[in-house]
């Protein structure tokens, strides 16, 4: 999703207590960045405007979350959405961190010492052209990187509107040693998550009559 430049985003992020501007410094020790370092640690890759992570994190205070995106404007909106969710709950955002980084180079900021339990990937760019498919967040090339910091039995929760991306992703996961423990071609008719938090894209595509595909993959 393209978004206009927002001059306020960078200053607000730099002033935020839950934004990390130098994620490389925390490789292998992200748990130390949270108030409660003993909680399970999970990721959202491509958090966008933060509608998903702002709800997920505030509903699960017993889990620490790192949400990653590459665009300051997106992260600025995510920061405001997180603040709004926690303000409504009358608590401080102590179990969520936002950071700006290129997910294609994710192994520069995470390793097996970080012990990631789960990764959320929601409506990532499908990169339909053949020469660009390696940029997919579910491509074999990326999954091999995630395996470096996922714990044994760690999971990936994936949602998309794109049929071809979904079918290809099923192959990518199985080819990389993941087990598909659940999948659906119509998430709203056949829920597979304990709680499905709808993203902005999900609401838009559903209104257009597009079925939402989803899967849960587990690292063997």
152-175 pLDDT, tens digit per residue, is: 999 999 999 999 999 999 999 999
CATH of domain 1-19+38-101: 3.40.50.150
50-74 pLDDT, tens digit per residue, is: 999 999 999 999 999 999 999 999 9
Tokens 């985003």 belong to 9
CATH of domain 115-220: 3.40.50.150
Checking if the pLDDT of 6 tops 90, the result is no
Instruction: Report the alpha-carbon distance of residue 215 to residue 212 in Å, rounded.
Output: 10
The shares of helix, strand and coil residues in the chain, as percent rounded to the nearest 5, are 40, 25, 40
Percentage of the chain beyond pLDDT 70 is 99
Percentage of the chain beyond pLDDT 90 is 95
Task: Delimit the CATH 3.40.50.150 region(s) of the chain.
Answer: 1-19+38-101, 115-220
Enumerate the H helices of the chain as residue ranges.
9-15, 51-59, 72-89, 140-146, 163-175, 200-207
In 91-212, which ranges are E strands?
A: 96-100, 116-122, 150-160, 178-184
Checking if the pLDDT of 1 tops 70, the result is no
Task: Choose among 127, 128, 194, 189: nearest CA to 157.
Answer: 194
Would you give the DSSP letter of residue 16?
-
What's residue 34's pLDDT? 98
């Amino acid at each position: 999703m393209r978004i206009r430049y927002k001059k306020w985003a960078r200053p607000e992020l730099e002033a935020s207590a839950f934004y990390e501007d130098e994620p490389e410094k925390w490789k292998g020790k992200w748990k130390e960045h949270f108030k409660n370092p003993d909680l399970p640690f999970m990721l959202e890759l491509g958090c966008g405007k933060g509608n998903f992570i702002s709800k997920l994190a505030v509903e699960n205070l017993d889990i620490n979350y790192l949400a990653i995106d590459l665009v300051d404007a997106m992260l600025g909106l995510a920061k405001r959405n997180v603040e709004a969710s926690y303000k409504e709950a009358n608590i401080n955002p102590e179990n969520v961190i936002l950071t700006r980084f290129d997910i294609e180079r994710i192994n520069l900021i995470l390793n097996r010492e970080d012990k990631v339990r789960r990764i959320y990937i929601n409506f990532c760019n499908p990169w339909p052209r053949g020469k660009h498919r390696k940029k997919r967040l579910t491509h074999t090339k990326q999954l091999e990187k995630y395996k470096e910091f996922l714990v044994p039995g760690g999971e990936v929760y994936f949602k998309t509107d794109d049929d071809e991306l979904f079918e290809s992703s099923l192959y990518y996961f199985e080819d990389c040693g993941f087990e598909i423990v659940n999948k659906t071609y119509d998430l709203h008719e056949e829920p597979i998550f304990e709680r499905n938090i709808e993203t902005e894209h999900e609401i838009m595509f559903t209104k257009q009559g597009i079925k939402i595909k989803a899967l849960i993959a587990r690292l063997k």
